[in-house]
Each structure stands twice: as C-alpha cells, then as structure tokens.
Amino acid sequence: MAKVTCAISGITLPIPHVPMYLAASVGMAHPIFYLPQKHLWNLYKRHCSQEQGFSKTDSYLLFLALLHSTDQVAFSCPASCDPLSSETQRLIEGNIKQLVDVIQLTNTIQVPSFKQPSFVVSPDTSPLLQVPNWIEAWNTNIENFRSGARGQRLQESLQKTENRLSYFIRSGSPTSSYSQVVASWAAKAAGFPPPKTDRWMKIIRSCFDSAKIFSIPLLEIREVKGYCEENIPVGSVHFHTLMEVLKEGISRHTDYLGMNPVALGYTLLDVDTSVNEARVAEVLAQAPVEAPTYISHPDPVEYLKAKLAYLLNKHTAPEEQDTDHE
C-alpha cells in the first residue's frame, strides 16, 4: 500500500497497491480539492445536517476545499491542524457558514475588474487561525466595491438628469412644465434623506400648483430650500432654477388669496400696509354673506378661497350696536 501526504490538508492518504511513500512536497492532494464548487455545496449540506457517516475529517477536508476553491488562498505548505481536535472543530463550526456566504457573494459580482485579496498558507499561518480575518477582508472588499458601484451609478444618473434639465432650461420652456425634472435633479444633487425623498420631490413638483402648495406647511417648504442650499454647490444654472421653483412655491403659499398673509392673521414678511389694505378690501367686497358649502363651490380651490374670505369678513365685521333706548 502506498502512502501520500496531502499537499493541502497534511493528511496521510493510503492508496492501494505498490508500497511507497510520497511527501507533501511532491504536490499531490486529496481528490476533494479537484471538485467544482457546485459539488462542494452538496457536501456542505451534508455537513450542516450532521449526516451519519460524514466525519470530522470530512468536514475538515471540506473546509479546506472551500478555501482552496476561492483561488485566493495559496498553500505553500499543508495546513497543520489536527482534524479531530476540539480547536479545529471550533474553527470549522465558527467560520464555515461565513466562508460559504462570502464565496457565494463573490460569485455574484461578474465584473472583470473586481478582485478579492489573496492570502498564503505558510508555516506561520498553517494553523489557519487567520481564516476569520481573511473572510472579514473579503466581505469588506465586497462592501467597498458595492459602495463604489452605487456611487458610480448615482453619479451617472445625476449626470443624465442634469443633461435633461439643461435641455429644458435652454429650450426656454416655462419652468412649470418641467418641475418634475427639477425635483429629480435636486434629490440626486443634494442627496435627499431616503425617508424624505418622495415627500420633498412632491413639494418641488407642487410649487406651481397654488392649491397643492398651500396645503403643505410653509416650514416644510423652507426646510427643503434650506437643505438644498446647504448641500448643493451654489452657482450653477441648475441650482438657480431650483431656487426659482422653491421661491415660486413660497410666494404662492403666502399669497394664496391674492393678498398678504397678514390679512389671514399671521406675519411672515415685511408688507406694504396700503397695498395690503387694498387687497383685504377687495377680498371683503367679494366675500359671501353665508358660509360657503361644497355644493355651492364644487371646485375645492374656489371653496377654500370663499371659506377664507367668509371667515375674514366675519372676523373684521363691526359688532352690531344695541339700538334700544330706555
């Protein structure tokens, strides 16, 4: 019977016929190291199910075969672990799932430029105590690659949206016709917080719709404007267009009835008193005597205007004087 020391696992392999011995330096390895990964997955299932007949040595060989299958671990010498020791079994049980996971994640990245870091099993690392660090390094490399890829995709998407916005700006079209493009550009250029992205984009799109923008709290509109001013470089035509859109929204919100908000009981900006009084008088002259209803004003915008005018008239009307005399 021949005996061969595996160049990867360090295990002595008995081979029938012809008495002889081959050292690890010859380079022969156990047949498991020639199996494709798809066969290793099946063996991993047997390991996890603790199938009868799948020994501790089998698990040890499988663990090394998974490392070897990455093509990122070179064995300059055999591993020096005892397959039956409790230390080796803890090493295997504590890391084999993480090893399988990182191999499968690596396989999903079909980009030629992506490379995992390589490691060497040498006399210093042959106890395999560094394997957890190798797995962590592979996972970190995957995350860094994905972050870079996400950043690249975001930059490409921003550039595409910016080009589209430039086209609309140069075309001379009214800004109200492409406010949705302005909103998309702002979300990407400023990096809107994910929980607020949809809401803030809706606010920008609503800046030319008086009814919609009036239903949004003014502080929220100003929050969007402030965030954009802090997170987008000033000076580009795109930034200028965004500011014009938001200013339009603020203007429509604070001048919804065609008068200064002072007339509605609150002050946001300095006002021209004479102009304000004239607008108030105009609204009061058209205010309904009776409280408006949805039936009499089916258009929600007109209903809201009529209701506010009615309340304003009621608030400013002089109290009736008692005409009875003793």
Nearest CA-CA partner of 210 in 250, 264, 270: 250
Are 207 and 245 contacting, i.e. CB atoms less than 8 angstroms apart?
A: yes
Query: What average pLDDT does range 170-177 have in this prediction?
Result: 88
Instruction: Answer whether residue 270 shows pLDDT above 50.
Output: no
Summarize the chain as % helix, strand, coil (round to 5). Answer: 60, 5, 35
Instruction: Answer whether residue 63 shows pLDDT above 90.
Output: yes
Residues 111 and 49 reside in one and the same domain: yes
Q: How does residue 326 score in pLDDT terms, banded at 50, 70 and 90?
A: very low
Q: Give the per-residue pLDDT at 152.
A: 79
Least confident of 17-21, 62-66, 287-291: 287-291
**φ, ψ of residue 289 in degrees (nearest 5):** -75, -40
Residues 107 and 230 reside in one and the same domain: no
Domains identified in the chain, total number: 3
Residues 88 and 208 reside in one and the same domain: no
Q: Give the per-residue pLDDT at 14.
A: 84
Residue 42 lies in a domain: yes
Q: How does residue 259 score in pLDDT terms, banded at 50, 70 and 90?
A: very low
Instruction: Answer whether residue 275 shows pLDDT above 80.
Output: no
Residues 239 and 193 reside in one and the same domain: yes
Q: Measure the CA–CA gap between 185 and 191, rounded to whole angstroms.
A: 10
Q: Measure the CA–CA gap between 65 and 30, rounded to whole angstroms.
A: 9
Domain end call among 254, 283, 302: 254
Residue 189: its H or E element: helix 179-190
Q: How does residue 278 score in pLDDT terms, banded at 50, 70 and 90?
A: low
Instruction: Answer whether residue 20 shows pLDDT above 90.
Output: no
Q: Measure the CA–CA gap between 138 and 103, rounded to whole angstroms.
A: 9
Instruction: Answer whether residue 95 shows pLDDT above 90.
Output: yes
Residues 72 and 39 reside in one and the same domain: yes
Residue 308 lies in a domain: yes
Query: What average pLDDT does range 223-240 have in this prediction?
Result: 90
Range of the domain at 82: 2-146
Residues 7 and 141 reside in one and the same domain: yes
How buried is 179 (Cβ within 10 angstroms: 0-12 exposed, 13-18 middle, 19+ buried)? buried
Residues 129 and 32 reside in one and the same domain: yes
Domain end call among 227, 254, 281: 254
Query: What average pLDDT does range 244-264 have in this prediction?
Result: 70
